[in-house]
Amino acid sequence: MSKKINIGLVLPAMPGYSETFIHNKINGLIKNGFKVVLFVSRKENSVDVHPSANIYYQVDINNKINLLYNFIKIFVLNPLICFRFLNLERASCRVWTEALKNLIINSHIIGKPLDWLHFGFATVALRRENVAEAMGAKLAVSFRGFDVCLYPHQNPDCYNLLWKKIDKVHTISNDLYQRALSLGLSYKTPVVKITPAIDTEIFRFTKNQNLHVPLRILTIGRLVWKKGYEYALKSLDILKNRQIEFEYHIVGEGSYREPIIYAIKQLGLTDHVKLKGYLSQRNIIKELEWADIYIQPSIQEGFCNSVLEAQAMGLLCIVSNAEGLAENVQHKETAWVIPKRDSECLANQVINILNTDEKALKQIKENAGNRVRKKYNLPYQEKEFCKFYINNKY
The pLDDT value given to residue 292:
96
Residue 47's CATH number: 3.40.50.2000
Kindly state whether residues 186 and 223 are assigned to the same domain.
no
Please give the biggest Cα pair distance in the chain.
Answer: 73
Going by pLDDT thresholds of 50, 70 and 90, the confidence category of residue 45 is: low
pLDDT digits (tens, 9 = 90+) for 301-329: 989 999 999 999 999 999 999 989 999 99
- Domain coverage including residue 107: 6-197+378-390
Looking at the structure, do residues 370 and 382 belong to the same domain, yes or no?
no
Q: What is the pLDDT of residues 74-92, one digit of tens each?
A: 888 999 999 999 999 999 9
pTM: 0.88
> Do residues 31 and 117 share a domain?
yes
64 and 190 share one domain: yes
* Strand-by-strand arrangement of the 54-57 sheet: 54-57, 35-42, 6-13, 116-119, 138-143, 168-171, 191-193
CA gap 23, 47 in Å, rounded = 10
Same domain assignment for residues 235 and 298 = yes
Q: Chain-wide mean pLDDT for the chain?
A: 92
- What are the tens digits of pLDDT across the range 325-383? 999 999 999 999 999 999 999 999 999 999 999 999 999 999 999 999 999 999 999 99
The predicted structure's pLDDT at residue 52: 80
- What digits encode the pLDDT tens for the residues 126-136? 999 999 999 99
Residue 205 domain-assigned?
A: no
Asked whether residue 323 falls in the same domain as residue 241, the answer is yes
What pLDDT sits at residue 394? Answer: 44
Given this model, what pLDDT does residue 262 score? Answer: 97
- Decide if 353 is inside a domain: yes
Q: Are residues 354 and 383 in the same domain?
A: no
Q: Which residues pair with 294 in a beta bridge?
A: 218, 317
Q: Could you tell me the pLDDT band of residue 65, with boundaries at 50, 70 and 90? A: confident
Q: What is the mean pLDDT of residues 149-170?
A: 95
> What pLDDT is recorded for position 60?
78
Residue 210 lies in a domain: no
